[in-house]
Structure 1
Amino acid sequence: MFETIRYDVKDGIAWLILNRPDKLNAFISQMNREVKDAIKAASYDEQVRCVVITGEGRAFCSGQDLSEVDDYMDHGQVLRDHYGPMIQQIRKCEKPIIAAVNGVAAGAGFSLALACDFRLMSERASLLNAFIHVGLIPDSGNLYYLTQLVGQSKAAELAILGEKVPATEAVAMGLANRLIPSETWEEDVSAFATRLAALPTKAIGLIKGSLMTISELSFEEYLEHEAQGQRIAGLTKDHREGINAFMKKRKPVFTGQ
């Protein structure tokens, strides 16, 4: 089905693996399209409760494959046609998405990680806003997410200086959620994804929607948005299961319904 990525669903987790290791998983237009299509498939698949995006080999994603760039390229149109639709599909997905950053995430690879809900970083991984080094600005939603995570001043520093951020520093400044030792990388990522996949999936989607609207609404408007979301959550089977489990003093078994 795909040529530049691998996609597999197992035990409620959709594994999306960027698969151009000889190019450090650099983006070509086909990869943009395939990532978008895979996220869309996961969004509609009732068996999927969590998505993990990671890279094959020693890199997460090194950004745009510069062999596709030429003097006549309209970079803005490339964003409209390829990167924008991919990032928007990730943003629309109501299921939790993990960026399992196994190596360098540079340029649009950094942007891809930022667009995910969680960032788990191998101790050997790093982040790099590489755009400035080729005379471009951060794209694919990079500064939108970056300012939310670290504030405008730090975002400006990372964008303008283009310095590499090691994994330990990324966790310390709030760019990543977990630092994972390389020797337990696969099992720890799987355990984190399994934990997310066992939670009430629809409630997670509503939480994601609320987080996205906070900066756009007044407090009063947000309270109404919150009430509407809570009404939807209250009608789910997972809510009833949570109440029943609490009353019976047992661990709830959520199904994502």
Structure 2
Amino acid sequence: MNAPLIRYETPTPHVARIVLARADKYNAINPQMIFEVNDAFTRALYDDTVKVIILAADGKHFSAGHDIAETVEEYQARVQAEQHKVGHWSGFQEPGTHGWYAAEKDAYLETARRWRNISKPTICAVQGKCIAGALIFAFVCDIIIASKDALFSDPVVNFGVSGVEWLAHPWELGARKAKEFLFTADSWSADEAWRLGMVNHVVERANLEDFTLEMAKKIADKPAFALKLAKEAINKTLDIQGQANAIDAAFSLHHLCHSQNFRVFGWGMDPTNVPSLANIPKKPG
């Protein structure tokens, strides 16, 4: 059994904290971490003493994003062996686009959708770098609190991909800034993210944990049923405006990029602008 990659904590009454604990690998997201985070959300969801959930991370950086050395193929293997599924797809061991699409849809799109719709308020505390797939973890939370040293980026256009699997960027940044964010692959500071409305608060690094916990405690003082319905009302408003359908459409385009890269490069990403990708073991897609 592998050592756990997250911790589940209850730092104060009515608050659960899920902590990414793979700091030696910059909290890179692999299948084990996805399963463990999902299980932790489930634990907090069904514990009626918990009213607010914090998602945080150990170490200098929140997360380097997907561990592209192992993520998709490992997820295909583990989800089949462990029958540990989140969404409603199958065919994880099928060759070609079928298996790749099924694994990414379950691992990234459906987990993100589930976490976004968890009925309890969620707060993400971000320090250091929050790259690509790590944005999904932050975006699905209701509130984002960043330390002053936080940097946000989605550089996957460099890899020949249109954006990460849960492409909430236009809703978080506005359409024009979302385009700039993706087209340039630049890293944006916590202050810029706050200015654009993606981040709720920017605090000193040393105060991040305490500030986040104090906000969680303030929210936890409110009636649980009212909190759940307030969250549902706002999420439903976004869905009526088209967020859910837009994210589904963007996911399909994401996979069109993978298919193009398989045809041209024999792998799901384009290594032309990212030489380090050439060293990643390739498996048939």
| Pairing of 1:60-209 with structure 2 (within 5 A) | 60-68=62-70, 75-141=100-166, 143=167, 145-209=168-232
Range moving further from structure 2, 46-55 or 72-81? 72-81
Deviation at 1:32, TM superposition (A): 0.9
Equivalent position to 2:234, from 211, 214, 237: 211
Between the aligned partners of 1:114 and 1:76, the Cα distance in structure 2 is 22
Q: Which moved more, 1:155-164 or 1:1-10?
A: 1-10
Over the matched positions of the two proteins, sequence identity in percent amounts to 27
Letter in 1 for 2:199: A
Letter matched to residue 6 of structure 2: I
The one-letter code of the counterpart of 2:116 is R
Bigger CA drift: 208-217 or 146-155?
208-217
CA distance in 1, matches of 2:197, 2:72: 36
The equivalent of 2:83 in structure 1 is none
| Shift, 1:89, TM fit | 2.0
Q: Which amino acid aligns with 1:42?
A: A
Q: Do the aligned partners of residues 217 and 190 (structure 1) sit closer, same or farther apart at CA in structure 2, a change above 3 Å counting?
A: closer
Are the aligned partners of 2:6 and 2:20 in contact in 1 as well (CA < 8 Å)? yes
**Distance of 1:15 and 1:86 partners within structure 2:** 18
Q: Is the 8 A contact 2:64 2:134 kept in 1?
A: yes
Once residues 195 and 70 of structure 1 are traced to their aligned partners in structure 2, the CA distance between those partners, rounded to angstroms, is 39
Deviation at 1:112, TM superposition (A): 1.2
Cα–Cα, structure 1 residues 165 and 46, in superposed 2: closer, same or farther, change >3 Å?
A: same
- Structure 1 residues 17, 69: CA separation in 2 closer, same or farther (over 3 Å shift)? closer
TM-score normalised by L of structure 2 = 0.70
Counterpart contact for 2:125–2:208, Cα < 8 Å = no
Name the structure 2 match of 1:49.
51
Structure 1 distance, partners of 2:165, 2:122, is: 17
Q: What is the letter of the counterpart of residue 47 of structure 1?
A: T
8 Å Cα contact 2:170/2:178 also seen in 1: yes
Q: SS of the counterpart of 2:53?
A: strand
Confirm or deny: 8 A CA contact 1:59 1:102 kept in the other structure.
Answer: yes
Cα separation, 2, equivalents of 1:50 and 1:154: 31
Note if contact 1:171-1:179 (Cα within 8 Å) is conserved in structure 2: yes
**Residue 54 of structure 2 corresponds to residue 31 of structure 1:** no
Structure 1: segments with no counterpart, 5+ residues: 219-257
TM-score (norm 1): 0.77
Residues 16 and 52, structure 2, Cα contact 8 Å, conserved in 1: yes
Query: What SS class does the counterpart of residue 69 from structure 2 fall into?
Result: helix
Relative to structure 1, the CA distance from residue 46 to residue 133 in structure 2 (aligned partners, 3 Å threshold; closer, same or farther) is same
**Equivalent in the alignment of 1:5:** 6
* Contact 1:12/1:197 (8 A) holds in 2: yes
Per-residue deviation at 1:201?
A: 2.2
Unaligned 5+ runs, structure 2? 74-95, 242-285
Q: Distance in 1 between matches of 2:72 and 2:48?
A: 42
State the match for 1:243 in structure 2: none
Cα displacement (A) at 1:216 = 4.6
Alpha-carbon distance, 1:204 to partner: 1.7
Task: Provide the C-alpha distance between the structure 2 equivalents of 1:77 and 1:205, rounded to a whole number of angstroms.
Answer: 31
Letter in 1 for 2:146: M
Give the 3 Å change call, closer, same or farther, for CA 22–217 of structure 1 in structure 2. Answer: closer
The alignment's C-alpha RMSD in Å is: 2.2
Q: Secondary structure at the match of 1:212?
A: helix
